[in-house]
Amino acid sequence: MERTQELFKKASQRLQELSSLPAIREDKNIPQMLEEKGIERRDFMKWAGAMTAMLSLPATFTPLTAKAAELADRLPVIWLHMAECTGCSESLLRTDGPGIDSLIFDYISLEYHETVMAAAGWQAEHNLEHAIEKYKGRYVLMVEGGIPAGSSEFYLTVGPHGTTGAEHARHASANAAAIFAIGSCSSFGGVQAARPNPTNAQPLSKVTNKPVINVPGCPPSEKNIVGNVLHFILFGTLPSVDAFNRPMWAYGLRIHDLCERRGRFDAGEFVQEFGDEGAKKGYCLYKVGCKGPYTFNNCSKLRFNQHTSWPVQAGHGCIGCSEPDFWDTMGPFEEPVANRLYATAFDGLGADKTADKIGITLLAATAVGVAAHAVLSMMVKDKENN
């Protein structure tokens, strides 16, 4: 209780300090933006309540979360693009009915973002330098994409001076107040780092020596991106993280723990092939390759496309997109891990590939356990049916 009160006091003080700073963008404020989009204050407060719960804070923090969202324009953000498909930005920007999360993203003072800014070439480069200089030590840096590194840095050059992506990332990291690697490419290297990784693409954390918070996913949900911004506004500190530097509030639980088909898994009711009777009845997708038991993310709670659906709800198993090296370690995507368990136990499943041996043992045991359960529950089920 004392700890909660302390936290509440700390966040209140920080918000008060931020309120005294001038708004970076004076043309917009949250109440006006909500009104323009036809969103009622009540819905905004409901959203703030959900965000508070998502950040694992008590409900009493809801007014503070709402206030933090209103103060998002005090926070300069620099967003860099590296080797990537831009899907993480697109997932936030390309919505036909912008929700409150995209609205907050719009409201954040995006001082530099190559996809949305009008400037190009020399002007863009000048804008970046200007933002880094003007907001030295105050800006939040978000980086999307894997980064060719070492002797392969030249595979990615940006801007009229042909600066390498790695140089850009290092330069912008040097004076950032907080750094977030947005998406699996920036967090773990992504598809361009998949074997044989011809451009030696690396995660942001291998390019800078500053602390990096990973927000993986292909793409990560908008709430996982906006939630980190709100957390930083509220506390001015980085969130607590797991072994892969992912915020615990977002990546603390497995897909399998939160899945709506979990009851089917426990009951041994599996889809055997896509389009069969089990698929129509919403059975568990483990046997057609779902990697939910080995993947840490909150997709089933947050969902995508204006929070309407997520992979498992749409009928395809999770492919483990928020785990390190998932392109190499989670495939084949439509086959269960049990099919190749022994071949990969030493090479490492995505989540097994941790430096920490306890993690390896635990997750290998989980993989064996999950596979064994799938087989056992099927046998029980078959017996019941005969």
Interface positions with ligand F3S (CB under 6 A): 217, 255, 295, 297, 299, 310-312, 318-319, 321-322
In the bound state, the residue with its beta carbon closest to ligand F3S is: 318
**Rounded CA separation 41/39 (Å):** 7
- Decide if residue 321 touches ligand SF4 (CB under 6 A): no
Q: Which does 102 bind (CB under 5 to 8 A by kind): ligand F3S, ligand SF4, none?
A: none
For residue 326, state whether it binds ligand SF4 (rule: CB under 6 A): no
Q: Which of 317, 320, 324, 350 binds ligand SF4 (CB under 6 A)?
A: 317
**Exposed, middle or buried, 313 (CB in 10 Å: 0-12/13-18/19+)?**
middle
Long-range CB contacts (within 8 A, 24+) of 186-189: 186/82, 186/84, 186/143, 186/144, 186/145, 186/146, 186/147, 186/214, 187/214, 187/215, 187/216, 187/244, 187/245, 187/246, 187/324, 188/214, 188/216, 188/244, 188/323, 188/324, 188/325, 188/326, 189/146, 189/325
CB of 159 or CB of 331, closer to ligand SF4: 331
Partner whose footprint covers residue 286, from ligand SF4, ligand F3S, none (CB < 5 to 8 Å by kind): ligand SF4
Q: Which of 252, 215, 179, 223 is nearest to 52 (CA)?
A: 223
Of positions 262, 303, 307, 316, contacts ligand SF4 by CB under 6 A = 262
SS3 label, residue 172: helix
Q: Are 151 and 288 in contact (CB under 8 A)?
A: no
* Residue 178 binding partner per list ligand F3S, ligand SF4, none, with a CB distance cut-off of 5 to 8 Å that depends on partner kind: none
Residue with Cβ nearer ligand F3S (186 or 208): 186
Residue among 139 and 326 whose Cβ is closer to ligand SF4 = 326
Q: Which does 185 bind (CB under 5 to 8 A by kind): ligand F3S, ligand SF4, none?
A: none
Q: Which amino acid is at 103?
A: L
Which residues, 6 or more positions from 25, have their beta carbon under 8 angstroms from its beta carbon? Answer: 73, 107, 109
x/- string (CB under 6 A) for ligand SF4, residues 228-257? ---------------------------xx-
76 vs 311, beta carbon nearer ligand F3S: 311
Nearer to ligand SF4, 212 or 318 (CB): 318
- Cβ–Cβ under 8 Å, residues 215 and 181: yes
Residue among 286 and 326 whose Cβ is closer to ligand SF4: 286
Looking at 76, 268, 292, 324, which residue binds ligand SF4 (CB under 6 A)? 292
Backbone angles phi, psi at 144, to 5 degrees: -115, 135
Tell me which residue of 386, 382, 362 sits closest to 374, measured CA to CA.
382
- Decide whether 148 or 293 has the Cβ nearer to ligand SF4: 293
CB of 106 closer than 8 Å to CB of 98 = yes
- From the CB of 226, what's the least distance to ligand SF4, in Å? 25
Residues that bind ligand SF4 (CB under 6 A): 255-256, 259, 261-262, 265, 284-286, 290, 292-293, 312, 317-318
